[in-house]
A and B are shown apart, each in its own frame.
Chain A
């Protein structure tokens, strides 16, 4: 047995007075970046406060992936909008039966299940006219992104699609729009299946993007002209990071409308359709972006 170790009152006092957490003098740099700089340290480890903040952000991202999209609620809300197409939204499902399958089998997430394919085929059989556009709202990897951004974004987009001056007599800018399709366990390419079955000229897929730690609610948008199964991403145009803290709705809608018109004019989408919607903007970031480490 070793001798019982005793601690002097002085040692006890010094253990107490020394700060366990060392703050970083450069902590204020976090005003210039979203990166987690200047966290300080307990020894060399992340202090409790920041550890728990990180865990919360990760928990929100995980929940965004695993929480099921409430399709009925979304359908109800979409039906209530004044721009809503005459036909109620169609609720569809991919061939991925559950989230675990969805995550491991992207091929299943790209195709509609049998029942959903039937719903679309029946709709097309009853409804002989072709559509200019079908909008597919797909859960993807974040149901949160769909729940928080879809209605607001579509509100902004439909102000372009249904401008009063472009009514009836102006067929050039009038868009005939298919019922909105709401899809569970879907990937981007499931829009191709939908576009083809509804006999639409193009498909706009709104999809929950892979959640980042500080962006669990990021909505992505993919435009595909004459979508049909087997196309790759080279045939699509993408607008990413649509959310209040990212690309705001009006801006995203302006870009989307630009791409839609360009696609209709050129009869294509993808690498040959260049997004020049920002060409008129003067981009000069030299004043705000500054390497303070050397000058």
Chain B
């Protein structure tokens, strides 16, 4: 199959035709289920048949090829160096003899128990995860992800089996504190916010971030909420906030899977290490010390013209090497935000969401998903209902929660507070245990087992609400 004298590294004869693939990157790209971003990059398979042949060719490759052939040169890219240098050969041993296709069978088999999957984690590279995901059906991605248990903690415990957490996202187009507080109250009373209360600031600077961090800290302390806060500002801003004494719980950064992508985001691995150290020095976690919150999403490398000819899903999975270096509390794939030039419709968005969730879980990350779309994508609420349900079944760590699905700052639609309660009810998924106990204590839930909300306004919030709207409520 491999011929060193040909211009093509991989050739596969099917009937009378020979299908040829230039190199491993080309083969990976052409084996990827169809999506607009790979067509835009010019790396996608040119026919359905070529894609199927690429998948067969990829399935026959040994997993070890990803240790021998780097998709982006070791010398050129600090993420390649991270992947190679941190690879754990001992953890890899039980699967080292497998092909990509054999790895799929192994993952689906009864050998791959939750404990077995944890034990091989450090031996799996992002490229191995990406490769096997390309030949897996949606149900395979769901089944294996559900077996991958990833537990993290800060002020509560995230990721226990049978649990689903939510990020309360009270964004406001002018960072107006009243508007933010209104969305926070709405979310808390709809039992949302155990993953994090996280604001995307409209004005992105140190002063504004500090103002919002303090505001959220006051609320968390006042109501003794077992959760954590985060302002999604640049990592270097958060470091400054910490230096100036702001009560920072989690450090945020958008990350990509190539060094050039992260250059375009204005950070490198050393910045993340510095930020993690700074946040740890505050020692604000009560039940754990996972202090990082990362966001990812297919297409960011192509968007930054930093994809090195790789397909967007492989780039995305390489970002998980960055994430797992820093033991995050949460990782969030913002799957439908980037737009239809990368993921065209509801079908492509759903596939990408399941791939990202599976690959991240296989690599040991607490993966959540911003189940979302923009108004220029071929998608609607029904597509989001489908993906939310699939991810709930797959054991997704967390989803977003926003009033009525409408983010009035970022102008896109994501899951609502109501949506999370729907997922809890149909799938029996509970919030983080510490937060669940708080919901009962505050009388937000009338019945935690049935996810029944209190019909009355809980006492603890009456005074606050009266301050704002007056009268009896």
Residues of A within 8 A of B (CB): 22, 24-26, 28-39, 41, 43-46, 50, 54-55, 57-58, 61-62, 64-65, 103-107, 141, 210-216, 285, 288-295
Contacts and interface: CB of A to CB of B under 8 A. Distances in A.
B404 A54 contact: yes
Interface in B390-436: 402-406, 408, 411-413, 416, 418, 421-422, 424-425
10 contacts: A22-B453, A33-B172, A35-B404, A36-B404, A37-B182, A41-B418, A58-B413, A103-B341, A105-B341, A290-B181
B186 A44 contact: no
Nearest to B377: A103
A213 B469 contact: no
Q: Please list the 9 inter-chain residue pairs (A to B) with the smallest Cβ-Cβ separation, ordered nearest first.
A: A36-B404, A212-B411, A44-B421, A33-B179, A61-B375, A37-B186, A29-B182, A292-B468, A25-B473
Nearest to A53: B404
B469 to A, nearest CB: 4
A292 B404 contact: no
B2 interface: no
B413 A290 contact: no
A216 B411 CA distance: 10
B185, B375, B404, B457: most-surrounded residue (chain A CB, <10 A): B375
B218 to A, nearest CB: 5
B219 A294 contact: yes
Contacts of B406: 35-36, 54, 57, 213-214
B341, B380, B412, B418: most-surrounded residue (chain A CB, <10 A): B418
A260 to B, nearest CB: 25
Interface of B is mostly: helix
Interface of A is mostly: loop
A29 B376 contact: no
Contacts of B467: 292
B37 to A, nearest CB: 9
Given A33-B183, A104-B341, A213-B406, A293 B375 contact: no
A5 to B, nearest CB: 22
Nearest to A289: B177
A291 B218 contact: yes
A32 B182 contact: yes
Contacts of B113: none
B453 A41 contact: yes
A44 B451 contact: yes
A141 B403 contact: no
B178 interface: yes
A141 B375 CA distance: 9
Contact of B222 (A31, A289, A293): A293
A22 B446 CA distance: 14
Given A25-B473, A35-B183, A41-B453, A104 B218 contact: no
B71 to A, nearest CB: 24
Contacts of A213: 375, 406, 408, 411, 413
A230 B128 CA distance: 37
Nearest to B402: A35
B6 interface: no
A292 B418 contact: no
B468 A289 contact: no
A32 B469 CA distance: 10
Contacts of A29: 182, 185-186, 465, 468-469
Contacts of A61: 375
A103 B411 contact: no
A32 B178 contact: yes
Given A26-B182, A32-B468, A292-B178, 14 more contacts: A34-B408, A35-B403, A35-B404, A44-B424, A44-B451, A103-B344, A104-B39, A210-B374, A213-B408, A288-B176, A291-B218, A292-B468, A293-B223, A293-B464
A38, A107, A289: most-surrounded residue (chain B CB, <10 A): A289
Given A41-B453, A58-B381, A292-B467, A214 B186 contact: no
Contacts of B173: 34
A210 B468 contact: no
A190 B117 CA distance: 50
A22, A25, A106, A293: most-surrounded residue (chain B CB, <10 A): A293
Given A58-B380, A292-B467, A210 B176 contact: no
B177, B184, B189, B381: most-surrounded residue (chain A CB, <10 A): B177
B380 to A, nearest CB: 7
Interface in B187-227: 189, 215, 218-219, 222-223
